[in-house]
Chains A and B, each alone.
Chain A
Amino acid sequence: MADSRLKDLNAELGAEAPAALSALSNEELAQLAACIRQAKRAQKDQIRRAFDSALSHVPFLLRGPLKKMLGG
């Protein structure tokens, strides 16, 4: 069980978690993986929103250069 929790955490990190984290309980490992998952999702949403904002809220004259920068 602990192994599968650790695997979930490793998957979220995209790397092996530090060995000392084996001192955490199953619940704590799951909680940590959930925190990292949430942070990744929140960041992804934030970036998407920032891109959308970049395209829709800048003055007309700036849209061309901005689209160029975003590769659009």
Chain B
Amino acid sequence: MPSLAQHAEVLKLARVLDLPPERLEFLEKLDPLAIRELRERASAALFGAEQGTFQRIASASKQIPAGLSAVLAERAFGSLLCARLTGLLAPDRAVDVARRLHTGFLADVCLQLDPRTSHNVLQAMPANRIAEVAAELANRGEYITMGRFVDNISDEAIHATAEALEDEALLRIGLFVENDARLSAIMHDLPRERLQGVVRAAVEGDEELWQEAVALIQRLDEALRRRMADLAAEMEEASIQRMIEATHEQDLWMDMLGIIAIMNPQNQRRLVELSLLQEEHMVGTVLRTAEVHDLWHHLLPMLGHIEDEARERLAGIAAAHAPAAVERIRSGRSPEGAGKSPKRRGK
């Protein structure tokens, strides 16, 4: 089964080629970086075509008032031609025309724009205009497109856009942001309540959203991973139960153990008390996951938060589900060498 990153890259390539993603499914076995490189080359091949003609139009357009250019853009050229022209215009000129265009039309242009070749124009675009277009794109569910723009718009535009969007939209865009460092930097700047909203949206969203959010958390820098992990643990009890159930149903314990392990001890204790010890089959799965993937270094410190009686119950469950774990649970010690080089699932 392809990872989210592989699937996302195929979706982006399909968008560039204007083809149904199913026609490119066979690429999902490739490394996401290879699919991204392929997209960049395909995009260059497409955007390089008829460059001379577009250059001529861009030059000629300087002689026409911006108001008239805007009329021509919407009535005559359409979104595809405007997308191709955008990167060839002087940023000030592009901004002057863009402010006269309808938001819906600008959203259409964004769908066909190569953000990298239009970087200077996007940087010059007023933050509020970008936020208006982003809101339109979010209404259309165009999160892939929005993710591609994040690297190319200013921090001010990012802030204005974040303010204009719902928490769930922020999460869904984050899944498609290409630069992990940029993603972390943006999320560091979000106020606590927005981050909390993003976590809650992940837990309360559809089944796949939690899985995708867990993958997203793995891409963040360590400080932010800790922050997100603690915010997850600080949700109300019903949300925590839902999070744990979603983790179990989607077989995400391997990643989730790593997330729980970086929560502060108080939050770990809360999580263990609220959920982990409630269901025997769930505890069994957690123990098996720790055993199979050599994740005792994550799990054993958490066991320090439970009473002897609960620990003994855990050892009893382990006897049925992961016999090799019984002694480790009773002693609370990681076996020699365990956890120094945890095996990771390929993502």
Residues in chain A within 8 A of chain B (CB atoms): 12-15, 17-21, 23-24, 28, 31-32, 35-36, 38-40, 42-44, 46-47, 50-51, 53-55, 57-59, 62, 65-66, 68-71
Contact = CB atoms under 8 A, between A and B. Distances in A.
A53 B76 contact: yes
A70 B72 contact: no
A16 B219 CA distance: 29
Interface stretch (B39-47, B242-250, B260-268): B39-47
A47 B50 contact: yes
A54 B30 contact: no
18 contacts: A13-B42, A19-B34, A28-B27, A32-B27, A36-B45, A38-B19, A39-B42, A40-B49, A43-B18, A43-B46, A44-B49, A47-B84, A50-B78, A62-B72, A62-B76, A69-B72, A70-B57, A70-B60
A25 B57 CA distance: 42
A71 B68 contact: no
Given A14-B44, A40-B49, A47-B50, A65 B72 contact: yes
B345 interface: no
A65 B48 CA distance: 26
A68 B56 CA distance: 10
Nearest to B60: A69
Per CB-CB distance, the 4 closest pairs between chain A and chain B, nearest first, are: A20-B34, A54-B76, A39-B17, A18-B37
B42 A36 contact: yes
Interface string B55-80: 01100110110001001100111101
B31 interface: yes
Contacts of B75: 57-59, 62
Specify which of B42, B78, B81 lies most central, judged by the most chain A CB atoms within 10 Å of its CB: B42
Given A15-B41, A36-B17, A57-B76, A24 B46 contact: no
A6 B201 CA distance: 44
Interface of B: 16-19, 23-24, 26-27, 29-31, 33-34, 37-38, 41-42, 44-46, 48-50, 53, 56-57, 60-61, 63-64, 68, 71-72, 75-78, 80-81, 84
Nearest to B48: A14
A58 B80 CA distance: 17
Given A23-B30, A39-B19, A69-B61, A47 B81 contact: yes
Contact of B17 (A31, A35, A66): A35
B19 A68 contact: no
Given A36-B42, A39-B42, A39-B46, A71 B57 contact: yes
Secondary structure class of chain A's binding surface, majority of residues: helix
A66 to B, nearest CB: 6
Contacts of A13: 41-42, 44-45
Contacts of A58: 72, 75-76
A69 to B, nearest CB: 4
B41 A69 contact: no
Nearest to A71: B56
Contacts of B71: 62
Contacts of B84: 47
Contact of B18 (A17, A20, A42): A42
A41 to B, nearest CB: 10
A17 B41 CA distance: 8
Contacts of A36: 17, 42, 45
Contacts of A21: 30, 34, 38
Contacts of B45: 12-15, 36, 40
Given A23-B29, A39-B42, 19 more contacts: A18-B38, A28-B27, A31-B23, A31-B26, A36-B17, A40-B46, A43-B46, A44-B50, A46-B80, A50-B81, A57-B76, A58-B76, A62-B71, A62-B72, A62-B76, A65-B64, A69-B60, A71-B56, A71-B60
